[in-house]
A = this chain, B = another copy of it.
């Protein structure tokens, strides 16, 4: 039974608390938060206790920490926890600064502790089934990957301003998905982006609509489409053309009811947002972390994976500004 300290008590921390307590091999030993009353509340709900982050990291009886705090604390906490001998599962992104993330990798890797980055979408059963079919050779060799990733509605502009921008905040998931599916980093990143959803996002210096094309050394191509707004809900699709066919992971729907009237044939919308869509993925992500700890095998998503995605976000940000392709090796 792994004893787990949960750092952070916000909305996503609640999702992780459920995953930790439901898993037969892990228990929620303690919860911390910047606002102690939040930690108290979450701990009470899940039969755990609230402590300070420092206490948790210092407690030798705790095997692992799950870092679900604000992004700008991730690198420090990864370093502190690994230095204290703990396994770490850290929410994405590692950091908004690529340099800081690379320093964190250097500093933390010397402690030899397992570190996993929470790219939850790799554990979505749909994307997982697509990847499994690809790996099984069901469509031959991959040639052209398309990722569609639209949020239901833009976040507040106050969030946009501190988010690091669309590429680091939103498309970073899709960069990791591309790496997961293609099994290699691209050579060049070309971004086309604009602000057509909400001019206030543009005024804040960000974009809300973007298309990024990734070129690979062997001629394969990937294209990622992002929009901050899809009126119909969270649109999360992956499509991969291979030499022998096509694989598509489509949206999950709220229910399977279809209504046929004079107005047409209408089905349910996609599940609304990431908590609904990726709930099974969070449980599977935690199970994969625990399994890697138990078996001593490599983490399924490493800190390096997190840095790779961050570098692609950096390249896309540059490309969108200059209107020119960026070599990933220049980042």
Which of B130, B139, B261 has a CB less than 8 Å from the CB of A244?
B261
Which of B225, B229, B269 has a CB less than 8 Å from the CB of A223?
B225
Give the nearest-CB partner of A199 in chain B.
B219
What range describes how many residues of A lie at the interface? Answer: 35 or more
Query: Given A262-B231, A324-B324, do A220 and B194 touch, yes or no (CB 8 Å)?
Result: yes
Which of B141, B196, B243 has a CB less than 8 Å from the CB of A220?
B196
Stretch of A110-118, A142-150, A158-166, A293-301 contacting B (4+ beta carbons < 8 Å): A142-150
Whether A235 is near chain B, meaning CB under 8 Å from some CB there, is yes
- Stoichiometry, as copies per complex, reads 4
Inter-chain contact A143/B223, CB cutoff 8 Å: no
Q: Would you list which residues of chain A between 232 and 250 have a CB under 8 Å from chain B?
A: 232-233, 235, 241, 243-250
A270 CA to B259 CA, complexed, in Å: 12
Query: Given A144-B227, A209-B219, A243-B197, do A266 and B269 touch, yes or no (CB 8 Å)?
Result: no
A264 CA to B251 CA, complexed, in Å: 13
Inter-chain contact A259/B243, CB cutoff 8 Å: no
Stretch of A28-36, A78-86, A210-218 contacting B (4+ beta carbons < 8 Å): A210-218
Whether A106 is near chain B, meaning CB under 8 Å from some CB there, is no
Inter-chain contact B218/A196, CB cutoff 8 Å: yes
Chain B residues, Cβ within 8 Å of A60: none
Q: Would you list which residues of chain A between 14 and 31 have a CB under 8 Å from chain B?
A: 24
Inter-chain contact A211/B213, CB cutoff 8 Å: yes
Query: Given A220-B194, A324-B325, do A232 and B248 touch, yes or no (CB 8 Å)?
Result: no
A270 CA to B209 CA, complexed, in Å: 31
A209 CA to B215 CA, complexed, in Å: 11
Chain B residues, Cβ within 8 Å of A231: 139-140, 243-246, 260-262
A132 CA to B245 CA, complexed, in Å: 25
Inter-chain contact A262/B126, CB cutoff 8 Å: no
A193 CA to B229 CA, complexed, in Å: 29
Inter-chain contact A250/B245, CB cutoff 8 Å: no
Inter-chain contact B262/A256, CB cutoff 8 Å: no
Inter-chain contact A257/B220, CB cutoff 8 Å: no
Inter-chain contact B227/A143, CB cutoff 8 Å: yes
Inter-chain contact B194/A192, CB cutoff 8 Å: no
Give the nearest-CB partner of A131 in chain B.
B257
Inter-chain contact A248/B243, CB cutoff 8 Å: no
Inter-chain contact B266/A241, CB cutoff 8 Å: no
Given A129-B255, A210-B221, A248-B258, 17 extra CB contacts under 8 A = A129-B254, A138-B259, A139-B259, A140-B231, A146-B146, A150-B241, A194-B219, A209-B219, A223-B223, A230-B246, A230-B260, A231-B261, A232-B246, A232-B265, A250-B257, A264-B267, A265-B270
A-B contact pairs, 5 of them (CB 8 A): A128-B255, A139-B261, A232-B260, A232-B261, A250-B258
Closest 4 CB pairs of A and B: A194-B219, A245-B261, A232-B260, A250-B256
